[in-house]
Structure 1
Amino acid sequence: MSPGMPTPGTPKRPGLSRPGLRRKSPDMLIAESGGDLEGHGLRRTMGLFQLVCFGVGAIVGTGIFVGLSDTVAEAGPAVVISFVLAAITCIFTAFSFAELGSAIPVSGSSYSFAYAALGERTAFLVGWCLMLEYGVSVSAVAVGWSQYVNELLNSLIGWQLPAAVSAGPGDGGVINLPAIVVIAMAATLLVRGVRESANATAAMAVLKIGILLAFCAIAFTAYQDDNLVPFAGHGLGGITAGASLAFFSYIGFDAITTAGEEVKNPRRSIPIAILICIGVVTLLYCAVALSAIGALGADAVSDKPAALSLVVNQVTDSSVGGGIIAFGAVVAIASVVLAVMYGQTRILMSMSRDGLIPRVFERVSPKTHTPVVNTWIVACVFAVPAAFASLDVVVNLTTIGTLATMVAVNVAVVVLRRRNPELERTFRVPLYPVSPVLGVVFCLYLMYGTGWTTWLQFAVFLVAGSLLYTFYGRKRSRLVSSPGTDPAGTVSPEA
């Protein structure tokens, strides 16, 4: 009889008879990651300051430097409410991420949380959606970087790259070479080591916060109340649509939880870093939006790819200030590419450990202690849409995929509170269970605002993910041969 096969008369284990419902216990996830020490070749080198900078680096970029104009076009001056509405969605979900990140400090983030609470199939689909949040958004961010590179060149030397080599076919070009370059630079830095990447991200985060504060100081000198009238000319529908777009500006805060195996004190640092990042970024976004519209008016800001540079140029009547803003945007957006690519590689590493995707993604270089092959695969795959796609094509799809994973995280908090009350939690969601329930409601509300076309695209994406799990992941899952499944289908670390 083959090892691991049940003996005659032994009842089937429910976790194995229903593969999609297999779960990993939180203890097993932590044990597999190396506990709170070292694991799988990764080193704990990041402190709280570096983690906060990493979070800011992952969030502040294309959404505010490039996407602000699109959000203003939808909501008008009421874009400030759109940013606050998106922030409220993030805050409720951030509480959930903070609790789960403190309880299960591993690299898998939403994927690992879903594996512990909702089962293997759901976890796979969450990981599949995270490819939209981390992977596809890398492409979108790289496209935005290319736009500001041209703005910077124009400010410095009065020349821009030809459209043929600085934009994809959808934007009137042939290939977006700057987008490929920034992805390649980020991959090169990531494979050198986490310490180097964290230090670079910290420096860039401080710089871009300084640039945005300088922008606000300049723009507020030309502020006029009349530019905010009518405040909500597009009505509630405009505010909702604006909030769905504004949410793209917050994508990345959950990347903090992907550093769970490389933070010195993850149970303490992860919750603090998440909440600090959301608070700082919300205040910064509202100040930037209010000052920009107050200076020139909503019509002048909307539908301008490099709106912040335009505002400074007109307020100062010089191209120098706009050049400085463009430089800040180039740095800011490059740091987002770096941080988001980091998150994507760690998600893939966790899925590979579980056997749901090929094992090449879990290999860590003994020299650099980074997943080198994984990083270069991610860079090559997502350089393709960056080179040939338009920014508008992927923003809504990225947003709805991210919101779907956040729904799963809020649900996971409720499930694990009931199923694993003994789990060590250094942070607990306030006003439980109201907070995670509101998190789900707000996420679904913003998903509704993305429009039926995006929902259709997302449905096709989920079907493709389900087929991939059914024909590849389910059969190769490492839980299939695990001997320690309890009656609920949960695998324990003693297995």
Structure 2
Amino acid sequence: MPAPPASAGIWSQLARKQVRTASADERPLTRSLGPFQLAMIGVGCTIGTGIFFSLSTAVPKAGPAVVISFLIASLAAGLAALCYAELASSIPAAGSAYSYAYAVIGQYAAVGVAACLMLEYGVATAASAVGWSGYVNQLYSDLTGWEIPYWALHAPGSSDAAGHFGVINLPSLVLVLMCTVLLLRGVRESMLVNTIMVLVKLTVLAFFVVIAFTAFNADNFKDFAPMGVAGIGAGTATIFFTFVGIDAISTAGEEVRDPRKNLPRAIMIALGIVLTIYMLVAVAAVGAQYWTEFDGQEAGLSVILDNIMHQRWPGMVLAAGAVISIFSVTLVTLYGQTRILFSMGRDSIVSKRFATVGGQSHVPVFNTLAVAAVVGPAAAFIPLDALADLTSIGTMVAFIVVAISLIVARRASSIKPSFRVPLYPLTPILTVVVCGYVLTGLSSTTWKFFAAWMVLTYGYYLLRGRKIADENAATPPPPVESPEISDSTPQLDQH
């Protein structure tokens, strides 16, 4: 069914459903990713920030019960991953949850999800870059005996007991610039680098687990939940932003070979690896160091190894692994945000310049540069503790919308997935319930920032985005009836 004309009522426009892929006069993205590289996108984006530096903020909130926080976050991510897998197998378009919401709920929901994803990816990229700085300083100190000056390592507003004040987080800005250059070279090259980095980080984390378990002390778990259930919830909310990698896989929907098979497969592989590594490292870390000692540690896992081995080289190995690991996280979150903006540009929710593909690398050049111009300064001038929870709220709301989209999609006869969620409808319902519980652990300040962001987003949409999206819908791409026609088009009629 064709989209409603520009003269249609506002509700008809807000409820419009569509998925746009490249039309005849648009340059498409290149399908160059296989299932292994795709799974490494998820692992690369997920394993890194949460393990390498979020323990220092989550453990003081939850105590040793942070392992329960990881279990709850993993449960929510696992349930959401199943929902993502089914939708990705039927709507293999760039844009992730944004594209799914637009396809099965409508434009108004897609705009809200887009706001969440922009918050999720933008803040996750900045937060990862900020965390990277601590390990760069640790590695630099181990290698040279010197440290990066405090003013060049911390954002304005930061200070220490010695009276030093932060001016700029210079390493984080450098990291964003390096990732931007790599992404501009092409998705194949970027994801090859990411795959190598993921394999290195998994090796380094296995090394940490083996060493940490040699100093395992069961007494560290005696005061298991010092802050009670509220502390467990707060810890879960703090670390949940690290599961953005589950969503990141689906942002590559238009750059994957045979996406209806490879997207669900990659999501499940990535989730299995992530759950195993997270639990092993969390248990090993808390077992090796009393929970009150985590507070304020900028390179916590390296410090644990230093204390166990009383030698510098184990901490150096871990710091080097963390530098590589968080580089890959930043690379993938930056990549994910550019692909979501690419889909939004093609739908004219934002300027169509975001959907232009240029150069021999077939990547959205303007899009990538614009994202870097925003994320780089955010990483350089905003403290980490103001970033992580905003990513969590964006991630969880996106997960909830994906679960609801699945329920709506099952009722639409035009949706024909190649992967089907087990225990339907229990799985999407539990996704909503568990993510809703995690949201209750966020602070009122985080909710206020989130509310302000949503007001700004919908304000822009009602004043400008809705009009240009309506004009764009006057010539929609033709619907695809059969899933066998092409891997580059979704199995969805337009409404």
**TM-score if structure 1 supplies the norm length?**
0.92
Number of the residue aligned with 1:22: 16
- After superposition, residues 439-454 of structure 1 pair within 5 angstroms as 439-454=431-446
1:306-353 Cα distance to aligned partner (Å, 9 max, x none): 110000001000111111111111000010111011100000000000
Distance across 2 between alignment mates of 1:449 and 1:148: 28
Confirm or deny: 8 A CA contact 1:101 1:271 kept in the other structure: yes
Distance across 1 between alignment mates of 2:452 and 2:5: 37
Tell me whether 1:351 sits opposite 2:347 in the alignment.
Answer: no
Equivalent in 112, 115, 123 of residue 136 of structure 1: 123
Q: Which runs of 5+ in 1 are unaligned?
A: 7-11, 487-491
Report the CA distance shift for 1:119/1:309 in structure 2 as closer, same or farther (over 3 A). Answer: same
Confirm or deny: 8 A CA contact 1:67 1:305 kept in the other structure: no
How far did residue 136 of structure 1 move?
1.7
Distance across 2 between alignment mates of 1:331 and 1:179: 13
How far did residue 234 of structure 1 move?
2.0
Number of the residue aligned with 1:277: 270
Equivalent in 223, 233, 237 of residue 230 of structure 1: 223
Number of the residue aligned with 1:100: 87
1:140-181 Cα distance to aligned partner (Å, 9 max, x none): 111111111101111111111111111111323101111110
Tell me whether 1:147 sits opposite 2:134 in the alignment.
Answer: yes
The one-letter amino acid of 1:60's match is: I
**TM-score if structure 2 supplies the norm length?**
0.92
How far did residue 134 of structure 1 move?
0.8
- After superposition, residues 384-399 of structure 1 pair within 5 angstroms as 384-399=377-392
Distance across 2 between alignment mates of 1:483 and 1:323: 55
Confirm or deny: 8 A CA contact 1:33 1:106 kept in the other structure: no
SS in 2 for 1:106: coil
For structure 1, which segment, 160-169 or 105-114, has the greater mean C-alpha deviation from structure 2 after superposition? 160-169
Distance across 2 between alignment mates of 1:476 and 1:122: 17
Report the CA distance shift for 1:122/1:494 in structure 2 as closer, same or farther (over 3 A). Answer: closer
Number of the residue aligned with 1:212: 205
Equivalent in 218, 221, 225 of residue 214 of structure 2: 221
- After superposition, residues 360-439 of structure 1 pair within 5 angstroms as 360-419=353-412, 421-439=413-431
Confirm or deny: 8 A CA contact 1:78 1:239 kept in the other structure: yes
Q: Which runs of 5+ in 2 are unaligned?
A: 160-165, 480-491
Distance across 1 between alignment mates of 2:279 and 2:314: 21
Q: Please provide the CA RMSD for this pair.
A: 2.2
SS in 2 for 1:81: helix
SS in 2 for 1:147: helix
Distance across 1 between alignment mates of 2:408 and 2:256: 26
The one-letter amino acid of 1:85's match is: I
SS in 2 for 1:230: coil
Confirm or deny: 8 A CA contact 2:41 2:245 kept in the other structure: no
Number of the residue aligned with 2:457: 465
Equivalent in 165, 190, 195 of residue 197 of structure 1: 190
How far did residue 195 of structure 1 move?
0.8
Equivalent in 72, 82, 85 of residue 59 of structure 2: 72
SS in 2 for 1:105: coil
Distance across 2 between alignment mates of 1:483 and 1:265: 24
1:364-412 Cα distance to aligned partner (Å, 9 max, x none): 0141111111111111111111110100001111111111111111100
Confirm or deny: 8 A CA contact 2:129 2:175 kept in the other structure: yes
How far did residue 276 of structure 1 move?
1.6
Distance across 1 between alignment mates of 2:493 and 2:404: 24
How far did residue 17 of structure 1 move?
5.3
Number of the residue aligned with 1:9: none
Aligned length: 474
1:442-487 Cα distance to aligned partner (Å, 9 max, x none): 111111111222112111111111101001110000454248999x
1:214-262 Cα distance to aligned partner (Å, 9 max, x none): 0000000111111111222221111111111121222222100011111
Tell me whether 1:456 sits opposite 2:478 in the alignment.
Answer: no
Equivalent in 301, 304, 312 of residue 305 of structure 2: 312
